[in-house]
Structure formats: structure tokens, C-alpha cells
Structure 1
Amino acid sequence: MKIDTLVFDLGGVLIDWNPQYLYNKIIPDEQERRWFLSTICTPDWNEEQDAGRSLQEATELLVAKYPDHEAAIRAYYGRWKEMLGGPIHETVEIFRELKNQGQIKLYALTNWSAETFPVALELYDFLHWFDGRLVSGEEKVRKPFPEIYKLLIERFDIDPHHAIYVDDNIRNVLPARELGFIGIHFRTPALFREELKKLGVLS
């Protein structure tokens, strides 16, 4: 089978993003910090912004509900850049090799707020290497809902039976597999490279 397309997730695959980087500074106590990020500024809450809710609406919603934690809540997007740990260099190098080979199309499918994604575009040149990008916050639909994968296929004329999708969250890999993609659950750049070699995409 000839593979002609590879679709990258971004956070956790090409970019190191983690709210802990910011909240280690704001809430030094580990137990308190864990409680805050699992009870107030939760992953589910953040994903609503990935699906198109505005940062202001999301913030004010939590401030009204947890006024005693206003400063920490407002920091989530007010100091959002401090959650970025930088590129995952080994994966960026794989991306570079694939781009230089010029044998396959390269796309990005990311759960990301439309308001914060432009910040990443300014910081990371490699985000401009893609043949196309689909950002959930701009489309108002996010992974793992099948609609966003179907939109990716339609917009970029992808045949999923000749395409790879890679994501660090297995939850987001499964719908891609159901649509015919070769789904790779990203764990480390080294393992990712080995899987691409086995598939004949990298030498």
C-alpha cells in the first residue's frame, strides 16, 4: 500500500504544551495545584475553547463560579504562553525529513483555540511547513468527534486508506482508524520514527 499523506496532531507531538509549566509557578503546593487543574481549569473546560468558545466567556464563567480563585483562573489565558515548553525537536526533525523528501502530503489536525493558535504560528516556523492545517477552534468542532476528521478528508482531498494519522491521545486516534487511516498513537519521537520506517515512509 502506498502512503501519500501524513496528518500530525500538534500538542504533545510537535509542541510541548502543559498547564503545569505555568501553575508550578502560581500554585507551588502539588496537591492544591492538582486539585485546581482537575476541578476548576479542567481539560474538559479547556476543550470547549478548542471547540470555539471564546476565552473571555470561558474565563468569566469560572470566575463567577469560583471567585476565590480569580487570579489563578485569569492566568490560564492571561499567561498562556508560559504553558508552552517549546518544540519537541526530535519530532520536528522527522517532520523536516519528510518535508525535504517531498514524497507525501503533510497536514495538521489540532484541537486548539482559534485565539491562541496565532501565538503558536508566530513562535514556531515549522507550523508553516504544512500543506494544510485544520484548527478545531476555527472550525467550531474538535476531536474526537468524527465531523472534524471528515472535514479534514474533504477539505484536503485525503484518501484515508493511503494516509497516516498520529496523535498522543489514543482517544483521538481511534476515530481516524475507524475512517480508514493508519492510526499511530504517539509515545516518543524514537518510537514514531520506527513506526514510519516499518511503513516505508522513512528510510
Structure 2
Amino acid sequence: MAIRAVVFDFGGVLFDWNPQHLYRKLIADEHERQWFLDTICTQAWNTEQDAGRPLAEATQVLTDQFPHHKALITAYYERWHEMLRGPLPEGVAILKALDAANMPLFGLTNWSAETFPYAQANYPFLRCFRDIVVSGELKLIKPNPAIYDASLRQVRAYLPDIKPGEVVFIDDVADNVDAAVSLGWRGIHHVSAEHTAARLRELGVGF
């Protein structure tokens, strides 16, 4: 079955996003910094915002719980753009090559609805996508099967007769890829741009 559309995850594939990029500026000691990110502003807490919780509410929850760390907690979203170091050039090169080959491209990202507009405004390569599903806008998050259903509906707005097996999903989180595969999609676990490019070619995608 030929691949007729490619769906990209963003963080770790196209974007270098990491709270460490900001907190290295705020907490000099490596162990103290890691404790803060493992204990207070955790990835699980951030995921709640990717699933639709308002940033102000999320910040208030933590500042109430950890008032002595209020300044560091508040910085997380006030200076969020400093965590987004920028594009991952090799991943973006694959995206642009597929776009130049006229492959229909779509996005499926776990991302807060409040911070995603910054990326849209500052990274023109996102215009390669025909459409993008943002978890925070839907209040659904990968690997929930419902968000893949929403993505496939989006693809079908452009390619009405496309089948799940004609879509390939690229993500750096194996569980997210497995969820897509369980729904009949083709999947690529992104561990490097070279690996992803090779897998795309194995699937018959020319670019």
C-alpha cells in the first residue's frame, strides 16, 4: 500500500525543546536543577498543559504547593520560548524534501494551545503542513487513540479516500508510534534523521 501522506510529531523530530535550555540560566548547580525539574516543574505537569489545562492555572497549582520556588515556577511559562532552542535542521530537511516532492504533510503534536502560536509565528517551515492537530486545542493527547482519529479526519479533508495504511506517522516517542500502528497506520520511531529517511524510502516514499 503506497504512502499518500506523512504526519509529523514536532518536539524531538523538528524542534529542539527542553526545559534545561532555560533552567541552566536560572539554576547553576546541575543536581539542584535536575531535582527541580524532576520534582516540581515535571514533564508530567507540563503534559497536563499539553492536554489543555490553562497555563495560569498550572502555574498557580505549583506556586501554592511550593511557594518558596515561586519565581522559578513562574519562569517556566513566562520564559517558555527560551526552552525552544529552535529547529532540528536534519529533521526539517526531511520535511522540506517531502514538501518539494509534493507529499501531503500534516502535524500531530502534544503542545499547549497557548504556546503553540509562538512556534507558528516564528518558524516558517511550519507552512509546509496542510494542517496541524495540536493536543492542547483538542484537549486530547498522544497516545490517546482519539487524537489519531482526529488527525486522520484532518488528512481526509484533503484526501477523502485515504486509508490508515497509506499514512505514515513519525514520532520520537515509541509509545506514540505504537498507538498509531495499532490503528492501522504505518509508523516510524524517530531516533535519527538518517534512520527516518531510510525508513521512509523503505516504505516507497521518494524525496
User: Is the Cα–Cα contact under 8 Å of residues 7 and 106 in structure 2 kept in the other structure?
Assistant: yes
**Out of 181, 184, 193, which is 2:185 matched to?**
181
- Cα distance in 2, alignment partners of residues 187 and 178 from structure 1: 20
Q: Secondary structure at the match of 2:177?
A: helix
**Out of 184, 188, 204, which is 1:200 matched to?**
204
Equivalent position of 1:53 in the other structure: 53
Cα deviation digits, residues 43-85 of structure 1 (max 9, x gap): 1110110111100000000000000111110010010011011
> How far has the Cα of 1:121 moved from its partner?
0.5
> How far has the Cα of 1:193 moved from its partner?
1.0
Aligned residues: 202
- Cα distance in 1, alignment partners of residues 3 and 138 from structure 2: 27
Equivalent position of 2:92 in the other structure: 92
Task: Report matched runs for 1:12-91 at 5 Å.
Answer: 12-91=12-91
Query: Which residue identity is paired with 1:162?
Result: E
User: Is the Cα–Cα contact under 8 Å of residues 101 and 206 in structure 2 kept in the other structure?
Assistant: no
Query: Which residue identity is paired with 2:185?
Result: F
TM-score normalised by the chain length of structure 2? 0.95
Query: Which residue identity is paired with 1:135?
Result: V
TM-score normalised by the chain length of structure 1? 0.97
Equivalent position of 1:164 in the other structure: 168
Note the residue ranges of structure 1 that are not aligned, 5 or more in a row: none
Note the residue ranges of structure 2 that are not aligned, 5 or more in a row: 157-161
> How far has the Cα of 1:155 moved from its partner?
2.8
- Cα distance in 1, alignment partners of residues 80 and 152 from structure 2: 31
Equivalent position of 1:134 in the other structure: 133
Q: Secondary structure at the match of 1:193?
A: helix
Aligned-CA RMSD value: 1.0
% same residue: 50
